[in-house]
A and B are shown apart, each in its own frame.
Chain A
Amino acid sequence: NAGVTQTPKFRILKIGQSMTLQCTQDMNHNYMYWYRQDPGMGLKLIYYSVGAGITDKGEVPNGYNVSRSTTEDFPLRLELAAPSQTSVYFCASSYGEGVGQPQHFGDGTRLSIL
């Protein structure tokens, strides 16, 4: 009963490095999301996807890229890491449309940029 799986759980990057945060879900959900959570704050939407091959920007997309080649996977890429991207990143998925569909979250990736 895996749900939404994120890897890695922790990572330290140097400024200017790049990395990919992995997210996979086994619930056959069409909708997937990436959020970031800064200290003392709620979550903010980075990117989302309504299905394979379709992605859209959220509130805070600058500095990130995503792709959705399969229903299961929704990786988030940081190209040139900056200290402002130090945060906890959550991937989420939901079954379908409608305001009543809860989003199911992964356990998060804690990322530090030094």
Chain B
Amino acid sequence: AQKITQTQPGMFVQEKEAVTLDCTYDTSDPSYGLFWYKQPSSGEMIFLIYQGSYDQQNATEGRYSLNFQKARKSANLVISASQLGDSAMYFCAMREALTTNSGGSNYKLTFGKGTLLTVNP
């Protein structure tokens, strides 16, 4: 079963409007982290925002906010006042624990398939 599900392959929004990109996740670990990354057409991965499973408040970073509904296992990204430069692929990712061969612990990111956002002028 997919651990991160992004059900919107593509989204369109008018410039200056707000848009919500959906993300649901599946984990039995009580401690986890949720991230959103932006990938413009140039290809780089840009970290946008983080939400921890124990955080009481929804994360915000400038025009980005995360609508975290723990009981529903959803972590939707809200972009306010969309700009043309927001057109990009957006990936939701969950940080999960790994047990290393050395006996320690590390974490990996599991990514969804992404949502392609297009901002129209």
Q: Is the CB of A50 within 8 A of B106?
A: yes
**A50-B33 in contact (CB<8A):** no
Report the minimum CB–CB distance from B104 to chain A (whole Å): 6
- Closest chain-B Cβ to A11's Cβ sits at a distance in Å of 14
Known: A50-B102, A54-B102, A110-B43. A99 touches B52 (CB 8 A): yes
A103 at the interface (CB under 8 A from B): yes
Contact (Cβ within 8 A) A48 B106: yes
CA distance A54 to B102 in the complex (A): 8
Residues of A within 8 A of B43 (CB): 88, 107-108, 110
Interface size on B, residues (CB 8 A): 34
Please give 19 more A-B residue pairs, beta carbons under 8 A apart, in addition to A88-B43, A104-B47: A33-B108, A40-B114, A42-B113, A43-B111, A44-B111, A48-B108, A50-B102, A56-B102, A58-B108, A97-B106, A99-B32, A99-B52, A100-B33, A100-B52, A102-B47, A103-B47, A107-B42, A108-B44, A110-B43
Q: Is the CB of A56 within 8 A of B107?
A: no
State the interface size on chain A (CB cutoff 8 A).
31
Give A contacts to B, CB under 8 Å: 31, 33, 35, 40-45, 48, 50, 54, 56, 58-59, 88, 90, 92, 97-108, 110
Closest 6 CB pairs of A and B: A42-B111, A99-B33, A105-B45, A102-B47, A107-B44, A99-B95
A54 to B98, CA, bound (A): 14
Question: Cβ of B46: which chain A residues have Cβ within 8 Å of it?
Answer: 105
Whole-angstrom distance from the CB of B90 to the nearest CB of chain A? 11
